[in-house]
Structure 1
Amino acid sequence: MSFLSGHAGGSSAIWFLLVLLLRCCLTEKSDGALTVVENGGGGEEATVDDDDDDDDDGDLEVVQPTEQWQTLKPGQAVPAGSHVRLNLQTGQREVRLGEEQLKYWTQEHREEETKTSFSPDELKRAMKKIKEDLNPGAHQDSVGSRYRPLDELKRDMAQLDLLMETDVQIMKRLLEQLNSSDTSPEQRLNILLELEYLVHQVDNAQTLCSMGGLQLILEGLNSSDSRLQESSAFVLGSALSSNPAVQVRAVEKGALQTLLTSLATAPKLGIKKKVLFAMASLLRHFPYAQRHFLSHGGLQVLSELFRTDGSGILRTRVVTMLYDMISEKELMLQAGLDQVQDPAHEERLRQYSEVSLQGKLLEEGWCRLVPTLLQSTEHDCREKALRALLAMAPVCLDQYRSDGSLLGSLLSLRLQYQEMVRSENILGEETSYFTEIVELIEALQRKMK
């Protein structure tokens, strides 16, 4: 088998003429001539042009060469750099990748092949799109026509019986269901879960109170179902958090007495944790409620809870709540020294002055109870105990100094945490947390000297 071959776009004129001459000798009528045309990318394409000019309106089909020889049909074109030859035995033109293309054309590139044939209709649509992009006004009109008027959408939604509820509407519906005698315990649990999510927003919590929802939540604390007790306490605590208006309404509704009763009688740890959370949220930055808490035996309830807590979880939470109450009063008194005369601030100072928390802590034996937390193996528990001991130091120093167990614990913990700091310094790790605990221990030891 004999072949004549060359490179499309890169062969000499002599070889090109020789190919045409041989093709004419083999057939009476030429199927097409191989020509070279400029492409859009700056290169050339070898094409086979038929004698019939009618094909000018048809598709321009570009054959993508491969490593293997493949036959070219009339009206087909090949990319620049392709290797084209004339098979003298069959009289057919054949094409494959050129040498440079073979180096570049991998299987990955073949998978990225795109459409190489464009019809006149496709070209017309592309030109129309270009004109639309060049005419912003017309484009905006076309975009606007894609969207339906709001009134029309509302009518359609009404026909589909769809309703967009606001938070207020949702809470109203939930409270009606919660107050219904037909609602099952499982449904009540789901309602309380939804309410807990909503009342994190200050406005929603206040709206809940105005709708009478606070009373329903407090009634849930007295439920015989422990699950409803726990969920109700969780909702109440979330609604009270950083919300003075709700704190006032809760005290007016008797929430303090209800929480103390639940805390003293709740049978399960999970309920006590949530009730303690609600109690802490009610007392935080609210000296009026703190005073009533002390006068209604709140410290005695916490003391009993502290002594009977075998897990240690509630102990840490109780001590943290007491520390917060002590520290917020001290911060308020310190701020009052530099505060400009303000009637509201003066009233808060007066209310805090009526809260004798530290004196009550001494009377109720907390100067002996809190040091027992240092026996815990949890770093967080020890840290909170040390902070509470420092806050209680003004009224508890005499008992601290006579407590041999406390003295021994402080000495042992100081050596332990100093060794931790040294070890982490050697390893190049962060030591600020353990260093802070060492500083707390040293500060307490200095006060006890």
Structure 2
Amino acid sequence: MKLIYTGASGAALFLLLHHCQIASTVGQKSDRALTVVENTEGWEEGSVDKKAEVTVDEEEGDFEVVQPTDNWQTLKAGQAVPAGSHVRLNLQTGHREVRLGEEQLKYWTQEHRETENDQSTISADDLKRAMKKMKDDLNPNSVTSKYRPLGELKRDMAQLDLLVETDIQIMKRLLDQLKNSNSTTELKLNLLLDLEYLVHQVDNGQSLCSMGGLQLIVEGLNSTDFRLQETSAFVLGSAVSSNPMVQVKAVECGALQTLLTMMATAQPLGVKKKVLFAVASLLRNFPYAQHHFLSHGGLQVLSEIFTADGGGVLRTRIVTMLYDMISEKELISRAGLDLGHDAAHEERVHQYSKVSLQGELLEKGWCNLVPQLLESTEHDYREKALRALLAMAPMCLDQYRSDRSLLGSLLTLRDQYQEMVESEIIVGEENSYFAEIVELINSLQVKMQ
């Protein structure tokens, strides 16, 4: 028997040892794996109860684990108790008794009892087998037998001769397949979509030009298949977006004139959307292209599309493009006040001075066209129309003031959005999107007074 003493007083230990000796002399067998923990209720009459651990080492055989309850029960020879149980020696009967410890009483549930009852008997053979398996698993030879050496893996990877392509190599391969006359329409559509993904990057867009791919994309705009026209316009718009060098190359290879022709002819809605995207990307921050667009009747073509569009999708894209052109020219003019004599900025201001956008908008009737977008039920469409109306106000105030339908629309929209704002304030939402629309309406009404 191995006795482990944990925190009991010297007198208590002596008394416990004394009674264990008495029990042994009367023929009782020592208990196995017996754990005695502190009794928080203190000493009971005729009992010894202190925190001690008594363990018997047994090499073989089974032992029965008694599941304590909240009542004292007698332990029989060959029985063991779970750790944390309260064990005492009844001095009157000479029997050991056990019950649940304080922590066990706190967390014990019927579910725990049922689970542990199924595992109340543990075989020493099972423990030996488990220990043997742990040793086998930790054996270095068994580990290396399951995995291949690093050197062998490296040799196998080298033999695979993996091919890693750069973006330029991929683009060259895609363009070669596009040029192939045997490529089907479906294949070309997939190739164009792959190109569109790549040309978003500035360097790739410029590489597209150097490899002659931009001209190939422009030729796709003249395809007889609407799907190829739409996807080609998508690729072109992505390539020229925020890429000045590609913008210049696109104008030089006739992309803008081709896009204007496509807008002026009957096209499906999907094609027109992508063409407008390409035109807006090509004109953004590019005064030379804007001047070319206006001088070739671009606003007249846009007004025809605006009038024919009933859904508002194309109208919104057109109004947004016009707003961007007006705003960037105004921004360049204001920036000149801070930069002073800067050669590059002065050249840019000079280029924008050739873009007679305001006069063209007034002449082509856009002061009366843009307010029509307010009739839409989409909040986003209305917001973009209000921003464009504010940007056009310096040249369109007379038309605004004489347009009774515009005055009525502004009053109706203000009441509608003000009610929405008040509803949001009630639920604790402030500075909402609808509040911004109310501010735009108020600003426009102030300018019209």
Change (3 A) 1:33 1:108: closer
Counterpart residue number, 1:17: 21
Deviation per CA, 1:45-101: give whole Å up to 9, x if none. Answer: 543345xxxx5xx9x999865469999979x9974647699xxxxxxxx99974557
Deviation per CA, 1:392-446: give whole Å up to 9, x if none. Answer: 1222222222222222222322333333333333343335433332332232223
Change (3 A) 1:203 1:96: farther
Unaligned runs of 5+ in 1: 1-7, 25-29, 86-93, 130-141
CA distance in 1, matches of 2:250, 2:157: 40
Change (3 A) 1:167 1:19: farther
CA distance in 1, matches of 2:340, 2:159: 61
* SS of match in other structure, 2:55: strand
- 2:84–2:101 CA contact under 8 A, matched in 1: no
1:306, CA displacement in angstroms?
0.4
1:237, CA displacement in angstroms?
1.3
Unaligned runs of 5+ in 2: 9-14, 37-50, 90-95, 120-125
AA aligned to 1:20 is: S
Give the share of equivalent positions with the same residue, in percent.
60
Matches within 5 A, 1:19-418: 19-21=23-25, 23=27, 34=32, 45-49=53-57, 66=67, 79=83, 81=85, 98-100=100-102, 102-103=104-105, 104=107, 107=111, 119=131, 148=150, 153=154, 156-418=156-418
Deviation per CA, 1:114-142: give whole Å up to 9, x if none. Answer: x976748957998x99xxxxxxxxxxxx9
- 1:178–1:188 CA contact under 8 A, matched in 2: yes
AA aligned to 1:304 is: E
Q: Structure 2 length normalisation: TM-score?
A: 0.75
1:448, CA displacement in angstroms?
2.4
- 2:64–2:78 CA contact under 8 A, matched in 1: no
1:37, CA displacement in angstroms?
9.5
* SS of match in other structure, 2:56: strand
Q: Which range moves more in the overlay, 420-429 or 162-171?
A: 420-429
Change (3 A) 1:273 1:383: same
Change (3 A) 1:362 1:61: farther
AA aligned to 1:210 is: S
- 2:414–2:441 CA contact under 8 A, matched in 1: yes
CA distance in 1, matches of 2:433, 2:31: 85
CA distance in 1, matches of 2:382, 2:433: 12
CA distance in 2, matches of 1:376, 1:191: 38
Change (3 A) 1:123 1:270: same
1:362, CA displacement in angstroms?
1.1
Change (3 A) 1:82 1:253: farther
Q: Structure 1 length normalisation: TM-score?
A: 0.75
- 1:218–1:232 CA contact under 8 A, matched in 2: yes
AA aligned to 2:206 is: Q
Aligned residues: 401
Change (3 A) 1:122 1:381: closer
Counterpart residue number, 2:434: 434
1:253, CA displacement in angstroms?
1.4
Change (3 A) 1:189 1:72: farther
1:266, CA displacement in angstroms?
4.8
Cα RMSD (Å)? 4.2
CA distance in 1, matches of 2:353, 2:87: 99
CA distance in 2, matches of 1:146, 1:349: 68
